[in-house]
Structure 1
Amino acid sequence: MATTSLLDTSPASTSFLDRSRTIAGPGYNRWLVPPAALAIHLAIGQAYAFSVFNKPLGSLISGDPNAPAPTDWTPGQIGWTFSIAIVLLGLSAAVFGKWLERVGPRKAMMAASLCFGGGFLIGSLGVHLHSLALLYFGYGFVGGIGLGIGYISPVSTLIKWFPDRKGVATGMAIMGFGGGAMIGSPLAVALMNHFKDSAPQGVTPTFIVMGIIYLLFMQFGVWTIRVPADNWAPKGYVPSTEHNALITTGNVSADNAIKTPQFWLLWVVLLTNVTAGIGVLETASPLIQETFSDKFMGSGRGVTAAAAAGFVGLLSLFNLLGRFFWSSASDKLGRKVAYAIYFGLGILLYALIPTLGHNLQLTLYVVVACVIISMYGGGFATAPAYLSDLFGKYQVGAIHGRLLTAWSTAGVLGPLIVHNLHESAVQKGLTGAAAYQNVFYTMAGLLAVGLLADLLVRPVADRYYEKGPVTIEAGGH
């Protein structure tokens, strides 16, 4: 009996996952698409809450986060799990971008849900066996592929549905990823507390339950997503370059885009923005606990693990809101001006954070951190629209996938900078805010590099444009 593979792209394939089964009919309301995108991104956005596992994973043998055993995993070893996941996110987005456009978002979303949920299950075995390699392979490698495919599938689709509001569209698509920790952080803490008597720190069963929950949750997006018909456009839509000289009326292929200085300037822009933000997010829970511990705040007044999880969730909320607010604002401000704000204001706030920590100004510390993360999220959400402005719609999905290799690089660079600078400070006897001050000053320097790259962006030269008419289909390049 003949069978149809999940990845089968042949014309004879009649799977309900095929792109042909997802093409919207006449009169379809495009505002029904964002909820499907959010279902995917809210799930895979759990990656931003991974820091709540740092201390539990570092005390599986000792059972005491404050007194790890010699055989317990170090913060640096645990941090590589997150870094691997982000590396695979960027690489899989670049590799599978054209496949996604060919087979459609439904099949891609299904593959993403299987990889992301399966990554948790494999990772749980790694935790149970205390095998770092299995944890890396499960959550990092397999789960990271799910992150990449899941990340680009709704982004590409929503850009096609909202050519008249590119900033709003990318904000809607990517805001869910920023808000995923709002669900993932408290869920993980609650599950670990529930299972703590049946497994070391309750981590193994927590991974299993979360893997199943996210696999099922993502099915809403899988089965409700729709793509517009070929060459569909909103009623009355007329492309305009008014007030923004960077918006092109031409089209640049993915192969030509990477030959332009504009692509590499944006690569640096995304790299520096993500490196700075991801370094904070990946260590958010231990960061605030150590900066505002009982030792500095007074007995019983320090930030607890539960309060730190709330901080992670709050950062997630502002990551989410920033993605929609800043990317929508970029439709009016222009992408270049928006990034100048992200970097310029970000430099000042990153440099201010250590002072607030030293002075134990917890409320202001949290407020500044939230503003920083809102602009970090805004930088992510504005990037696809910036690419569309510069290179046109032709193959913008593939260009976006290649740009996300900057995220892969930042996924390693950010945590590496944070862990190395922090561990170096600890070895020198520094504690609390002092142990993290060089981290924030370094990140402020990186944002200065990003600001310079953004200011150097100019319109793409005509020689890179496609000659003659090109076909821009709703579902492919």
Structure 2
Amino acid sequence: MRTTDYSTSVPYREVTDRNGRVYRVGESDIDIMGRGRTWMAVLPWVGMMGISSAEYAFTSAEDTLHEAHLWSSGHVFWLMGVWVFFQAAVAFPAGRLRESGRLPARTAMLLGAAGTLLGYLSLAYAPHVAVAYLGFGMCSGIGAGLVYATCLNMVGTWYPERKGGKTGFVDGGFAYGSVPFVFLFTSCLDPGNYRAVLVTAGIGLCLVVASAGWFFQDPPKNWWPAHVDPLMVTHGPKIRRALEKNPPAVRQYTPKEAARTPVLWMMWFCLLCTAAIDIFGIAFQVPFGKDMGFAGGIVATAMSLKVIVDGTGHGVIGWMSGLPRSRTRSRGGAPVGRRNTLIIVCVVLGAAQFGVLVSGQAGSMPFFLLCSMVSGFGGGAIFPLFAAMTADYFGENNNASNYGMVYSSKLVSGLVGSGLGAVVVDAWDYHGAFVLAGCVGLASAVLALFLKAPGRPKARRIVPNPHPLGEEMA
């Protein structure tokens, strides 16, 4: 390994590990931006809260939009699918623009805030459903994609040594922010007040996103926190556990290099399947509950619990992926690891679909609420896991672009989970649709077994040094 020291006027140095990866060390977060990096976790969390209602709470307004605009239910579900399509489509180009310096973080957030406002205005005043597709589906989707990609990349670059929990925390905001709107759209929205409610919500959320994004600041390329030595493994217990099972990428992969590895496309397909299941649940849990005879308040509660637990799943799973299997062996136990955590999450997500179906058909309200929460937990866990795994496998420098490629699978999963999901429900009823979703979740767990970091040798292939350094060689 090599250490490069700069002149005394430069308060940092670059170190290179045995794999050739460069770390910029010596600068603290205070040195760079004048405040602690905790701000770069809290502000992205707030920004994510500002865009979440468009995905999680939108279908709760289905009845009102249908009655006020005379749009068919099919249009409402396809509107959500188009929104998800554009939200995912912008991830990769936004990442490339961000990493090239042509799209500063603040600009991306302000554009996202404008898209959020435009989406709500189009839902309130669209003279034709085509305008809603353009304003809400495309413009709001693109704005949300800019915010989502910017917020996740921001926290990942500021916390390269323990990104799992922090990424999960920020991603959880994408669910928490929609909770009040689920109740608002389910209980209070009607054809007499929908325009005032939607415009007020749009203006408020626009201000939230813009205010949070105004203070965003990126760290330098290859930055590593000054208190953590990237070449040593004798850190404190938290960092040691996080890096033991989830070590940093062997080098910084460019998007072209990452695209040549099979594991990136396996991650792409696995995220497609799991995200489609999550979006299917978001889109159809409310109408399914109503069709099964549950009261509107129960359905709204179930959806809200799903969203709350969804947001909790983001943070808890990120934290859990770095924990040892046994807390009693925290000094020597092997952490669960993100891949193993993903396998567990896929099994839970698939099994929850069968539970939602059975509880609804049996008319068991407590079991329906429980399965809704379990489904939300599984759906909320997948995105931060894939975001952190992408940085673990391919490095932080190009993570916005690399995760953008993985996240682009949501282009398909949004249309499959919402739009095509409506077709499947019409053809096979809810029974066939939920059974299919559950089977896909279990199959995703099998696929996750084969996810491995590129370029890292397997432990069993590492030959120990037959002549270790010792006192006799001193």
Please indicate, yes or no, whether the TM-score normalized by the shorter chain is above 0.5. Answer: yes
- Compared with structure 1, are the counterparts of its residues 389 and 229 closer, same or farther at alpha carbon in structure 2 (3 Å cutoff)? closer
**In 1, distance between residues paired with 2:208 and 2:301?**
22
**In 2, distance between residues paired with 1:140 and 1:338?**
33
Q: Post-superposition shift, 1:220?
A: 2.4
- Residue 473 of structure 1 is matched in structure 2 by none
CA contact (8 A) 1:24 1:228 kept: no
**In 1, distance between residues paired with 2:207 and 2:215?**
13
398, 403, 406: which is aligned to 1:400? 403
Measured against aligned partners, the alpha-carbon deviations of 1:291-348 in whole angstroms (never above 9, x if no partner) come to 2x1xxxxxxxx412x4423322221111110000011111232111011101123332
Kindly indicate whether residue 354 of structure 2 is the aligned counterpart of residue 388 of structure 1. Answer: no
Measured against aligned partners, the alpha-carbon deviations of 1:84-114 in whole angstroms (never above 9, x if no partner) come to 1100011111121122232332111111101
Identify unmatched segments of 5+ residues in structure 2: 1-28, 234-241, 324-335, 458-474
**In 2, distance between residues paired with 1:92 and 1:264?**
18
3-state secondary structure, aligned to 2:271: helix
3-state secondary structure, aligned to 1:218: helix
357, 361, 366: which is aligned to 1:358? 361
CA contact (8 A) 1:278 1:415 kept: yes
CA contact (8 A) 2:246 2:338 kept: no
Kindly indicate whether residue 83 of structure 2 is the aligned counterpart of residue 54 of structure 1. Answer: no
- How do residues 305-384 of structure 1 correspond to structure 2 at under 5 angstroms? 306-332=297-323, 333-384=336-387
**In 2, distance between residues paired with 1:349 and 1:384?**
23
CA contact (8 A) 1:86 1:144 kept: yes
Measured against aligned partners, the alpha-carbon deviations of 1:391-413 in whole angstroms (never above 9, x if no partner) come to 12231111111211111210000
- Compared with structure 1, are the counterparts of its residues 273 and 421 closer, same or farther at alpha carbon in structure 2 (3 Å cutoff)? same
**In 2, distance between residues paired with 1:172 and 1:344?**
22
- Residue 303 of structure 1 is matched in structure 2 by 295
CA contact (8 A) 1:417 1:439 kept: no
**In 2, distance between residues paired with 1:52 and 1:457?**
36
Kindly indicate whether residue 71 of structure 2 is the aligned counterpart of residue 30 of structure 1. Answer: no
Measured against aligned partners, the alpha-carbon deviations of 1:258-309 in whole angstroms (never above 9, x if no partner) come to 1211001101111111011110112232221222x1xxxxxxxx412x4423
Measured against aligned partners, the alpha-carbon deviations of 1:155-200 in whole angstroms (never above 9, x if no partner) come to 11111111121101211221100222213223334652xxx4xxx3
**In 2, distance between residues paired with 1:396 and 1:203?**
40
- Compared with structure 1, are the counterparts of its residues 159 and 444 closer, same or farther at alpha carbon in structure 2 (3 Å cutoff)? same
Measured against aligned partners, the alpha-carbon deviations of 1:228-253 in whole angstroms (never above 9, x if no partner) come to 34544223223469643875322211
- Residue 10 of structure 1 is matched in structure 2 by none
Kindly indicate whether residue 417 of structure 2 is the aligned counterpart of residue 414 of structure 1. Answer: yes
- Compared with structure 1, are the counterparts of its residues 385 and 213 closer, same or farther at alpha carbon in structure 2 (3 Å cutoff)? same
- Residue 110 of structure 2 is matched in structure 1 by 110
**In 1, distance between residues paired with 2:35 and 2:247?**
32
How many residues end up aligned between the 2 structures? 404
If the length of structure 1 is used for normalisation, what is the TM-score? 0.79
Kindly indicate whether residue 121 of structure 2 is the aligned counterpart of residue 121 of structure 1. Answer: yes
Kindly indicate whether residue 435 of structure 2 is the aligned counterpart of residue 438 of structure 1. Answer: no
- Residue 217 of structure 2 is matched in structure 1 by 226
- Aligned residues: percent identity? 20
- Residue 82 of structure 1 is matched in structure 2 by 80
Structure 2: which amino acid aligns with 1:312?
M
**In 1, distance between residues paired with 2:187 and 2:104?**
36
Structure 2: which amino acid aligns with 1:341?
I
Measured against aligned partners, the alpha-carbon deviations of 1:125-184 in whole angstroms (never above 9, x if no partner) come to 21xx2x110111111000001110010111111111111211012112211002222132
**In 2, distance between residues paired with 1:220 and 1:183?**
20
3-state secondary structure, aligned to 1:457: coil
**In 2, distance between residues paired with 1:218 and 1:27?**
22
Identify unmatched segments of 5+ residues in structure 1: 1-21, 62-71, 294-301, 426-434, 464-477
Kindly indicate whether residue 159 of structure 2 is the aligned counterpart of residue 162 of structure 1. Answer: yes
Query: Which moved further from structure 2: 84-93 or 416-425?
Result: 416-425
**In 1, distance between residues paired with 2:86 and 2:30?**
29
Q: Post-superposition shift, 1:43?
A: 1.1
- Compared with structure 1, are the counterparts of its residues 35 and 220 closer, same or farther at alpha carbon in structure 2 (3 Å cutoff)? farther
Query: Which moved further from structure 2: 245-254 or 436-445?
Result: 245-254
CA contact (8 A) 1:326 1:382 kept: yes
428, 443, 448: which is aligned to 2:442? 448
Q: Post-superposition shift, 1:29?
A: 1.0
- How do residues 119-158 of structure 1 correspond to structure 2 at under 5 angstroms? 119-126=119-126, 129=127, 131-158=128-155
Q: Post-superposition shift, 1:416?
A: 3.0
Q: Post-superposition shift, 1:358?
A: 2.1
- Residue 273 of structure 1 is matched in structure 2 by 274
